[in-house]
Amino acid sequence: MKKKQQHGGGECPAPWPPAAAAAAGGGPGQGGGLLRRRPLSLLPFLSLRDYVFCMATLLLFCLGSLFYQLNGGPPHFLLALRHCLGNSTYLDDHGPPPQKVLPFPSQVVYNRVGKCGSRTVVLLLRILSEKHGFNLVTSDIHNKTRLTKNEQMELIKNISTAEQPYLFTRHVHFLNFSSCADVLLEIRIFVQLHHAGSSHDPTQRRFGGDQPVYINIIRDPVNRFLSNYFFRRFGDWRGEQNHMIRTPNMRQEERYLDINVCILENYPECSNPRLFYIIPYFCGQHPRCREPGEWALERAKLNVNENFLLVGILEELEDVLLLLERFLPHYFKDVLSIYKNPEHRKLGNLTVTVKKTVPSPEAIQILYQRMRYEYEFYYYVKEQFHLLKRKFGLKSHIRKPSPRPEFFIPSPLETEEPINDEEEDDEKWLEDIYKR
């Protein structure tokens, strides 16, 4: 009775039985009981049997979850592991793995015409390919536009096997990827030449088979010729080395040949067939495409209608970029804002051809007569381009109407020439833009 009063009237806790004390880790006074019970001290309300039961339940849950995941549940890496270890039922459960969703079109070719602002577009494409993640395929061959049959097949093979979505760019005449398209196209040319009154909607374009979508830009033929003439001789604001490397064998008297003398005295550089330059890029690889005449002109027009999504005009480059952004947003999204960036403008100013002069009116008129097929094609493309602009609500940014000239050619200095078309290492030029 006295002991009960010392504990506040309550009952004393029952002492541990000897077996429990031994299981706890030794006899009294050894201090091992508390140390041995430390793993269970976090859950003092559980007995050892309850603790084992909880661990067993957790293990069963983990195993059940693992079997569930291996039989169709997430995560994906376990499904991939099962697929590698044995896929006897993988395709039955899940079907074939999903294919990469490609934009349309996923194959674009820019067979850029020389001295038509293609350097600007290539520079923009390098930036856009980094930004949008498409495959920009370029070529180290710059001066071979006419290809043999074997070279055509090899190039078509290389283009067709590129990772999609891709945009291939090179100075090369049009390549027809369809095997029988050449025969059909010749039949259509014959029909059109003998039925001049037949109507044709220039906005209707068809793309079939593995034929990629083509884009291009052209400019006033005389302006293009003069730009190339002086660039080969004097280069641009980046220095003398550019043109000296490209024309190392040019004699001094040829380098400083007056443009009027070249035209009026009918030097080879200033006469046909070298003046017949733009049309072959759209006519194709047929030998007759290199001969100035109606056949090459009509073939080029038909190819523009059938295979080119857009052929723009360099004099209206901002509108060209705007239409490209609308037609091919997965390639050209934000292209206009990049083009108007002051850093890009500064780089473009370095490549304007220097020492360019205007020929006399007589010489210009002679050039126009020699390039009459080029001008007929140029104005045909220009009309189509303006038709597209009207369909999309764009107004032409032209100071005054420009009717087809008979005795007048716009001054070569009026055409904005943002950049030249020769391939070079652009890493230094792109460095500042990539840091934006």
Task: For residue 23, give the nearest of 8, 34, 13, 33 by alpha carbon.
Answer: 33
Helix 372-391 × helix 317-327 angle, to 10°: 60
Higher confidence at residue 393 or residue 400? 393
- HSE (side-chain half, CA atoms, 13 Å) at 334: 8
Mean pLDDT of 124-145: 93
pLDDT at residue 89 is higher than 70: no
Higher confidence at residue 110 or residue 119? 110
Instruction: Give the whole-number percent of the chain exceeding pLDDT 70.
Output: 60
CB atoms within 10 A of CB 374: 25
CA distance 138 to 172: 12
Higher confidence at residue 119 or residue 111? 111
**In sequence order, what DSSP letters do the residues of 10-48 get, joined into one string?**
SPPPPPPPHHHHHHHHSSTTS-HHHHHTGGGTTSTTS-H
CA distance 362 to 177: 43
Phi, psi of 285 (to 5 degrees): -95, 0
pLDDT at residue 55 is higher than 60: yes
Amino acid at 153: M
Q: What's the mean per-residue pLDDT of the chain?
A: 76
Q: Which of 63-67, 202-206, 368-372 has the highest mean pLDDT?
A: 368-372
pLDDT at residue 418 is higher than 50: no
Instruction: Give the whole-number percent of the chain exceeding pLDDT 90.
Output: 44
CA distance 37 to 25: 9
pLDDT at residue 60 is higher than 90: no
CA distance 189 to 304: 13
Higher confidence at residue 228 or residue 187? 228
Q: Say what the pLDDT of residue 422 is.
A: 42
- Which value, to the nearest 10 degrees, does the dihedral of the CA atoms of residues 75, 81, 85, 86 take? 40
pLDDT at residue 271 is higher than 80: yes
CA distance 230 to 259: 9
CB atoms within 10 A of CB 165: 20
Amino acid at 199: S
Q: Say what the pLDDT of residue 249 is.
A: 74
Three-class DSSP labels, 201-264: CCCCCCCCCCCCEEEEEECCHHHHHHHHHHHHHHCECCECHHHHHHCCCCCHHHHCCCHHHHHH
Contact in structure between 107 and 213 (CB atoms under 8 Å) = yes
Question: Does the model's pTM come out above 0.75?
Answer: no
pLDDT at residue 69 is higher than 70: no
Report CA torsion sign: 63, 68, 69, 70: positive
* Residue whose tokens read 């099962």: 82
Q: Say what the pLDDT of residue 163 is.
A: 93
Q: Say what the pLDDT of residue 58 is.
A: 86
Q: How confident is the model at residue 137 (pLDDT cuts 50, 70, 90)?
A: very high
Q: How confident is the model at residue 104 (pLDDT cuts 50, 70, 90)?
A: confident
- HSE (side-chain half, CA atoms, 13 Å) at 138: 15
Active site residue 344: no
CA distance 152 to 57: 69
Domains annotated for the chain, with CATH where assigned, are: 107-435 (3.40.50.300)
Q: Say what the pLDDT of residue 236 is.
A: 58
Q: How confident is the model at residue 54 (pLDDT cuts 50, 70, 90)?
A: confident
pLDDT at residue 176 is higher than 60: yes
Q: Say what the pLDDT of residue 263 is.
A: 96
Q: Tokens representing 39?
A: 């793993």
Q: Say what the pLDDT of residue 83 is.
A: 63
Q: How confident is the model at residue 177 (pLDDT cuts 50, 70, 90)?
A: confident
Higher confidence at residue 238 or residue 374? 374
Query: What residues does 137 pair with on adjacent strands?
Result: 168
Q: Which of 161-165, 204-208, 250-254 has the highest mean pLDDT?
A: 161-165
Q: How confident is the model at residue 53 (pLDDT cuts 50, 70, 90)?
A: confident
Q: How confident is the model at residue 213 (pLDDT cuts 50, 70, 90)?
A: very high
Task: For residue 325, give the nearest of 131, 39, 40 by alpha carbon.
Answer: 131
Q: Which of 7, 76, 132, 171 is catalytic?
A: 171
